[in-house]
Amino acid sequence: MASTVWKGHIAFGIVSFPVKLHAAARSETISFHHLHRCDHSRVKQVFYCRAEDQPVPRSELVKGFEYEKDRYVILDEHDLTHVEPSTARVIEVVEFVPAAEVDPVYLDASYYVVPEAAGHRPYTLLFHTMRQTGYVALAQWTTHNREHLVLVRPGRSGLLLHTLYYPDEVRAEEVFHTDTALLPARELELATLLVETLATSFAPAQYRDRYRENLRARIDAKIRGEDVVDGLPEAAWAPVQDMVEALEASLTRVKMPVSTDEAICRRPKKRA
């Protein structure tokens, strides 16, 4: 069962209900330890005091803010607790916005919002209302010494919460330069056809992390004392010289018709 990362309340208007947040996803990776090359013994991180020229135990560490060069003000747990806003205990909905207006570039971490026993009715009411109206909720939530802007939305069977990047954390769109007026009609037609040809329903279960699988297989082979044979490197991708020719070749590779009408007929049907 997923561990609880936070417990508190969600409030909209004067309605509030108790909830728990569970992490909705996590990255799976293979981790390594740092070892001494000579004898393969574990090494550890050491905090070192420059003034005393000796190691310092974690119990003697404090948090300091540098307000001038080499001058610090010390903050203890009491200080940090007393600057927490109310959003450390209550996720208060500030406004509702159309779901379609939220650019996915703002989305960060995801959490399942799980109602406590006393909050099932208002939780279900908020969930159903947002599904009916097409709105999502914007709120603020304080955790890990930071107040986050968050989005609460209805999922398939319950509410999800996503932390959002603040606007000053998102790179401005001006870094991208596109001019669709320069696209020839034939290239657009073929590109659209290729997209429609490859279009299907969202099914993430068919994908896997092949790097992690290959790394695990290599580790297992080394544990068994087997010789590891390196695979051949993949051929480098050549730059496209003729876009129309490349698109036509792509359509041929996926063995689909080049007729726009036929490709449209092959589109996955939208669910009612």
Report the pLDDT averaged over residues 158-185.
87
Q: What angle do CA 47, 52, 57 make, to 5 degrees?
A: 35
Structure tokens at 207: 């994908």
CA distance 150 to 163: 4
Instruction: Encode pLDDT of 109-137 as tens digits.
Output: 999 999 999 999 999 999 999 999 999 99
pLDDT band at 165 (very low <50, low <70, confident <90, very high): very high
Q: What is the pLDDT of residue 268?
A: 53
Give me the pLDDT at residue 78, please.
84
Which residue stretches of the chain are H helix? 77-82, 120-133, 185-198, 210-223, 243-253, 260-265
pLDDT digits (tens, 9 = 90+) for 192-219: 998 888 888 888 888 888 888 888 888 8
pLDDT tier for residue 233 given thresholds of 50, 70 and 90: low
**pLDDT for the residue 260:** 47
Report the percentage of the chain scoring pLDDT > 70.
89
Q: Identity (one letter) of the amino acid at 88?
A: A
E strands, the chain, where? 4-12, 15-23, 48-49, 54-55, 63-68, 71-75, 90-98, 107-115, 135-143, 146-154, 159-164
Q: Which domains, from first to last, does the chain contain?
A: 4-24+83-168 (2.40.290.10), 180-229+238-265 (no CATH)
Q: Which pLDDT does position 59 carry in this prediction?
A: 92
Structure tokens at 145: 């010494």
